[in-house]
Chain A
Amino acid sequence: MTETARTRPDQGMAEAPSGPGLEGRSVEELPLHMRRSGFDPAPELRAIREGEGVRKIRTPFGLEAWMVTRWSDVREVLGDAATFSNEWQPQRRMAGLPGMPKRSPEELARMRAGNLLAFDPPAHTRLRRMLTPEFTGRRMARLEPRVREIVDQHLDAMERAGSPADLVADFALPVPSLVICELLGVPYEDRAEFQRRSAKLLDLSRPMDERMRAGDEQRAYMASLVAREQADPGEGLLGMLVREHGEDLTTDELVGIANLLLIAGHETTSNMLGLGTLALMDHPDQLALVRDDPDAIGPAVEELLRWLSIVHSGTFKTTTRPAEIAGHAIAEGELVMLSIPAANRDPALLEEPERLDVRRGALGHVAFGHGVHHCLGAPLARMEMRIAFPALLQRFPDLRPASEDRRFRSFNVVYGMESLPVAWGGA
């Protein structure tokens, strides 16, 4: 089993301890909240959960933060935005640290615009209310036929090319990326380029500067897309925002929303598809259930979300007043981070938490967060996974790993697989 740890570009991502200075570190040096052992959170995190519950740790940039590990405490922190604030604090603190790009206050404000995760209520509520209608069950039902088509097209292509395939490059990455295009209203003729840029941005094997350039290009494209939608609003989410809230939303905010949806909606679902498929292949009886029983997928998606907990921590919080977590006094102005994997394996949430059992699929996990920042895209992500897993397994009923080598992606905001060679049929 090989675990690889590489860095990703950092352009305002507070919780991503990437960027200059971390290149080449080994997995042992990973920040605590990112440490895992295969599918499982690191034993150190469990030890905190079972011991003192919360511990003061030092983050990679030398900041001190409280690590919260128990399910009930994580829910409490996420449920209390007035005490545990998201207001752009980490960015401001990190701005002065060595290795971080120097940015003017104006630049920072522009980067923050439209980013729901960087605001508390009521500024957050304002943005969230504008976006909520686009993620209702009804809106998802309208998108569903397109998601099925996109999934089927990629399965067709895999089948044509034949076994083996890289499930990440051929399926898990492109499907959510095209779904985001569909959602945002990226015109068909732009999609090939759009995907090429996304793929480049996310391809860890490419040099950092090339990936940063792809990131800049993608943002520039988003700005041009927003300008087009402002002139002639289309049927997608951006067109809707322009029509309904064009007076109220600035151009920076529209670009920020588009970028946030692209980033938060792309790699998350991708990694769930990649990692989730590997988890199912490791549990053949559960794989068979998801493949053969149409009622199994709903609970299975919830259990995979819980067991895999691909988002390590979510955004950092800052206390706005003195607080208490697991009996520890936390002063005002301190940094608080959460371990989502540790919380989702807490025996207080469910029995035998370390076991994957797709039959139970209980709600209540915090894989999508909790509180006002609870994942906006959760209905979309659920729909994508409910369609994609069974379709994949029905197309290739004997899907299996084509390599012993497991390339988990450690050094990232979101846990997953770098690549996942799979085989089917006689090959």
Chain B
Amino acid sequence: MGELRADRAVCIGAGMCVMTDDAVFDQDDDGIVVLLNENPEVDEKVRSAVDACPSGALSIREE
């Protein structure tokens, strides 16, 4: 488990997260990451999106 966090101040809008899992991630009109729902399940795909994010904007807070 764990809680997914997206730091919009750090995001560079590379879109890797959306490419990896577009059920959880989206980009707003400025290209900055938004989470499609508040507390998504942290599965394999979400973890690989976190790894793929080049800017370090995504993190998982383990509970």
List chain A positions with a Cβ less than 8 A from chain B: 78-79, 125, 128-129, 132-138, 363-364, 368-372, 374-376, 378-379
Contact = CB atoms under 8 A, between A and B. Distances in A.
Contacts of A379: 15, 19
Given A129-B30, A363-B20, A363-B48, A135 B13 contact: yes
Contacts, number: 60
Contacts of B54: 78-79, 368-372, 374
A162 to B, nearest CB: 39
Interface string B8-30: 00001111101110000001011
B2 interface: no
A372 B16 contact: no
A136 B27 contact: yes
A265 to B, nearest CB: 15
B55 interface: yes
Contact of B12 (A78, A364, A372): A372
Given A132-B31, A132-B32, A137 B18 contact: yes
Interface of B: 12-16, 18-20, 27, 29-32, 48, 51-52, 54-56
B15 A135 contact: yes
13 contacts: A79-B54, A132-B12, A132-B30, A132-B31, A132-B32, A133-B31, A134-B31, A135-B13, A137-B27, A363-B48, A374-B55, A376-B14, A378-B16
Given A132-B32, A364-B52, A374 B27 contact: no
Nearest to A366: B54
A378 B31 contact: no
Contacts of A79: 54, 56
B31 A136 contact: yes
Given A371-B54, A376-B14, 8 more contacts: A79-B56, A136-B27, A363-B48, A364-B52, A370-B54, A371-B55, A378-B14, A379-B19
A126 to B, nearest CB: 12
A374 B14 contact: yes
Given A371-B55, A372-B55, A133 B29 contact: yes
A69 B19 CA distance: 27
B29 to A, nearest CB: 6
Nearest to A378: B14
A363 B15 CA distance: 13
Nearest to A134: B31
A136 B56 contact: no
A308 B14 CA distance: 21
A19 to B, nearest CB: 31
A376 B20 CA distance: 17
Contacts of A363: 16, 19-20, 48, 51-52
A363 B54 CA distance: 11
A364 B27 contact: no
Given A132-B30, A136-B15, A136-B31, A364 B51 contact: yes
Nearest to B49: A363
A369 B54 CA distance: 8
A138 B15 CA distance: 11
A380 to B, nearest CB: 11
A129 B31 CA distance: 8
Nearest to B53: A374
Contacts of B51: 363-364
Which of A137, A368, A376: most chain B Cβ within 10 A? A137
B35 to A, nearest CB: 16
